[in-house]
Chains A and B, each alone.
Chain A
Amino acid sequence: MVTTVTAGNLTVRNRRVGLMLALGVVAMVGLAYASVPLYQLFCQITGYGGTPKVGVVVEKATGAAAERVMTVMLDANVNKGLDWEFKPQVSKIKMPLGEETLAFYIARNLSDVAITGTATYNVTPFKAAEYVSKIECFCFTEQRLEAGEEMPMPVSFYIDPEIMNDPNTKDLENIVLSYTFFPSRKTASVETKDDNS
């Protein structure tokens, strides 16, 4: 038996399939863009890739975790495009689990113009990040320093006692909290004329 397919009929069917495939392509491009907010959301919720959690309610440690002390090393970096000095006030602090702790960095503008910078942060080892929560941090906003100005940069954070119950992290004794200052991309980072440094 030979089924007769008229040319017109075939053209209509081809166009229908072609259109559906085109929709599939558009959907996949959409998915690529949708992955940007989804990925950020995912990182903030899970602490994936060393993204510390932000603005969580502090829970007091109980039991064994209450006696545990974690050594947090404070690390500071400056992007080469930013003429600042940036360092922690102390390089190492010992802090109890489940207790809000305040640490200070110090930033100084080495140039003779006002510069706006912004800091990125992460926690090493990455697996510890989901237990490190920031209550308040200089890295949440952009920081503007006048020419030669020096300013303390406070960060208030705490380590979730749950870190002791996770088999992947319960052996941890040291955590590195790291910041890198970059020239701001959102605000014009150098407000007066470029000093050609």
Chain B
Amino acid sequence: MAHDDHKPGFFKRWFMSTNHKDIGTLYIILSIIAAIIGGAMSWYIRLELMEPGIQYIDDFQFYNVLVTAHGFLMVFFVVMPAMIGGFGNWFVPLMIGAPDMAFPRLNNISFWLLAAALILLVIAGLTGGGPGTGWTVYPPLSSAEYHPGPAVDLGILSLHLAGASSILGAANFITTILNMRAPGMTIHRMPLFVWAILVTAFLLLLALPVLAGALTMLLTDRNFGTSFFIVEGGGDPLLWQHLFWFFGHPEVYIIILPAFGIISQIVSTFSKKPIFGYLGMAYAMCAIGVVGFVVWAHHMYMTGLDVDTRAYFTAATLVIAVPTGVKIFSWLATMWGGSIDFKTPMLYAFGFIWLFVVGGVTGVTLANAGMDTVFHDTYFVVAHFHYVMAIAAIFAMFGGFYYWIGKMCGRQYNEGLAKIQFWIFFIGVNVLFFPQHFSGMAGMPRRIPDYPDAYAGWNYVSSIGAFITMAGTFLFLWIAYRTVTSGEKIGANPWGEGATTLEWTVDSPAPFHTHEVLPDMTGKAPAE
């Protein structure tokens, strides 16, 4: 099988790319850049919060801008580009035996729209005080009255571009997965990572247009005299919250479903067993996607919903624990009796399961409207969502990076250093976020730069955790740099018998063109 490895020149290759692997690489680079900016913001926030009183940030609007930008960056420019744009672009075509994505030029537009969105967001942050609205952009705080000037408008346009980028990408993934699977690669034989991306793409396609509509309403409210969310004009700010969370709740599954996919591949590979309950795993993701659309008001228990509405949203939210439980127990059952190889990706998979379970347990707590009345807008919520989606997603990204970097660049990472990096990061994030449960239960509110002395102890511990995490991040950047420049060269399949998916059948690094002769999967077992 002769691979055509002819590559175009530098500018044409990287700026006009239609190659799924190169675009995937671009997404991963963008994600790393955004992660450094967003991470630096969080370390600055923790530095301020290390002690009561005001140490570094005496401009409170600037503090709000930091919190807002940290959220936007991490959600739209770090996790989504890395997992969907990066690993999705790289490995969905490879895993289903397709030569490329269905719409390669659309793929290029998706990436550059996101790059433009990132630039707009940075400009928004530097304009007239910046957008200090929180990532939820609730009116009336985000209205022209409380945020005059163009900062919020620029932020809205940035989200519009990022949303358009994701919608185009999602349409591309769905078309690719539905139409371009290799012969014999039936829907029920697809690797679980492909399943995860398929479900995620549908969520993106249904949720992001609602955000786009709501953002447009906010934009016209601010600039063109409409009053969708303005009380005195007959609008209702609560409508924003309904629309935002109709997007926002599926959004957290958009972040975590690809992580589920990556973890499934890793657990199977390093347990040297097919995934336990493959169909259950696939349809658990579908169920999470569907239920995710009918639970949005659990973010709004404090807005005066009547008791029956709160009862419904509590019950519906608790139901999500069932398919997520199916996933957790299936991973454990996959490991059970397996010949487990504790390579770094597997350590990250273990770390992911721990973080996701802790965050899931506090999620069940918060799902109860009665409990949420006490915990709403406290650090308990901050601890919960950082465990369950933020840090869990980052762990899946690190795991995916170590798992696939050999395939992407043809060189293997340093196992010893990577294991040290895992332990530093794992200890760091737990020291960082676990104490926030305690300060939150004691009543420490979110989004404030100062707090009463009573909360000093756990905040200090939390900030120490942030600095350990920072060390882990820089060690990761060093490992990534060393891997790409001088890592050990590897063959097609460095992981051995456990790695059964199609990406391990092509050379490392994956040639510029792959699967030009479609692999025949007829009669083969499910990929995982």
Check if B306 sits within 8 Å of A48, measured CB to CB. yes
Kindly list chain B residues whose C-beta atoms are within 8 Å of the C-beta of A13. 179
Q: Does residue B263 face the partner (Cβ distance < 8 Å to A)? A: no
Kindly list chain B residues whose C-beta atoms are within 8 Å of the C-beta of A81. 145
Q: Does residue B447 face the partner (Cβ distance < 8 Å to A)? A: no
Complex CA–CA separation, A45 to B209 (angstroms) = 28
Query: With A31-B210, A32-B213 given, is the CB distance from A120 to B306 under 8 Å?
Result: no
* Count of inter-chain pairs, beta carbons less than 8 A: 101
Complex CA–CA separation, A168 to B310 (angstroms) = 13
Q: Does residue B205 face the partner (Cβ distance < 8 Å to A)? A: yes
Q: Does residue A147 face the partner (Cβ distance < 8 Å to B)? A: no
Kindly list chain B residues whose C-beta atoms are within 8 Å of the C-beta of A35. 239, 242-243
Which interface class (under 10, 10 to 19, 20 to 34, 35 or more) fits A? 35 or more
Check if A21 sits within 8 Å of B209, measured CB to CB. no
Complex CA–CA separation, A81 to B239 (angstroms) = 23
Kindly list chain A residues whose C-beta atoms are within 8 Å of the C-beta of B307. 127, 168
Check if A18 sits within 8 Å of B102, measured CB to CB. yes
Check if B233 sits within 8 Å of A185, measured CB to CB. yes
Complex CA–CA separation, A32 to B308 (angstroms) = 24
Check if B520 sits within 8 Å of A10, measured CB to CB. no
Q: Does residue B175 face the partner (Cβ distance < 8 Å to A)? A: yes
Chain B residues 294 to 311 lying within 8 A of chain A, measured CB to CB, are 303-304, 306-308
Q: How many residues of chain B are within 8 Å of chain A by beta carbon?
A: 42
Chain A proximity of B160: nearest CB distance (Å): 12
C-beta contact mask, B494-511 vs A, less than 8 Å → 1, else 0? 000000000000000000
Residue from the list B102, B178, B205 in contact with A25, Cβ < 8 A: B205
Chain A residues 26 to 59 lying within 8 A of chain B, measured CB to CB, are 26-29, 31-33, 35-36, 39-40, 43, 48-50
Q: Does residue A148 face the partner (Cβ distance < 8 Å to B)? A: no
Given A27-B209, A43-B236, A168-B307, 4 extra CB contacts under 8 A: A31-B209, A32-B214, A32-B217, A40-B236
Chain B residues with CB under 8 Å of chain A are 102-103, 145, 167, 170-171, 174-175, 178-180, 183, 205-207, 209-210, 212-214, 217, 225, 227-228, 230-234, 236, 238-239, 242-243, 303-304, 306-308, 518, 520, 522
**Shortest beta-carbon contacts, A-B, top 10:** A32-B213, A182-B232, A28-B209, A21-B171, A126-B304, A29-B209, A14-B102, A17-B175, A185-B233, A32-B210
